Amino acid sequence: MLTPAAMLVFVASFATAQESQTSPSQAVDMTKGLSEWDKIYAVFSHPRCADCHVADGRPRWSGAHYGGTRVHAFNVQRGDDGSGFGNPGLRCTTCHFASNSNALHGPPGAENWRLAPAEMAWFGKSSAEICAQIKDPARNGGRSLDDIALHVRDDRLVGWGWAPGSNREPAPGSAEATFQAIENWLAVGSPCPVP
């Protein structure tokens, strides 16, 4: 039989052990986290985002507006200098200006229109692959997940994905909702789906 004093000690040490295992900053809520990730993935994998995040340096045209997915016309490339602005003589900004052309099939636009660097490519990758990639500072421009959330909320090229012009289907949701989903995902431990 435990004396009342021994019971108290037992209860107190049990509570301490429990607390240290489930401190809020460590806890990963898989169910909530994966449901937030699904919202983020739906945006990142959408053609309005993925078509600029390509590994082979060839932007894509896709969606009903384009009649499927194909490589960008005019043999457009990332560019030999790796900047993403295209080769000399055929820079993105030859055709893409700071705002959308209103003409059907006219070039869309936003400031500094260019391809994402090769290490930030996720066109055609799985949900698990994209998830691991955007958490990896070596492949996300040295960003924390807070930085990623802010980039998604404030960057103009990202913002274009929700206002692509000329009958193009926008990315799902909004910049603000995606910012919030990344913050919510981060708060529950930012879990990734199993590959």
Q: Judged by CB, which is closer to ligand HEC: 33, or 164? A: 164
Distance CA 129, CA 144 (A): 18
Nearest-approach distance from CB 193 to ligand HEC, in angstroms: 17
Half-sphere exposure of 186 (CA within 13 A, CB side): 15
Q: Which residue's C-beta sits nearest to ligand HEC?
A: 161
Distance CA 51, CA 62 (A): 8
Q: Judged by CB, which is closer to ligand HEC: 145, or 187? A: 145
Question: Measured between alpha carbons, how far is residue 144 from residues 23, 107, 135, 149 in Å?
Answer: 21, 33, 8, 9
Q: Judged by CB, which is closer to ligand HEC: 39, or 114? A: 114
Q: Which alpha helices (H) appear in 58-155, and where do they start and end?
A: 92-95, 127-134, 145-154
Nearest-approach distance from CB 24 to ligand HEC, in angstroms: 26
Can you give the binding site for ligand HEC, defined by CB under 6 A? 43-44, 47-49, 51-53, 59, 61-63, 66, 72, 74, 76, 84, 86, 90, 92, 94-96, 105, 107-108, 113-117, 120, 134, 140-141, 148, 151-152, 157-158, 160-161, 171
- Please name the amino acid found at residue 117: P
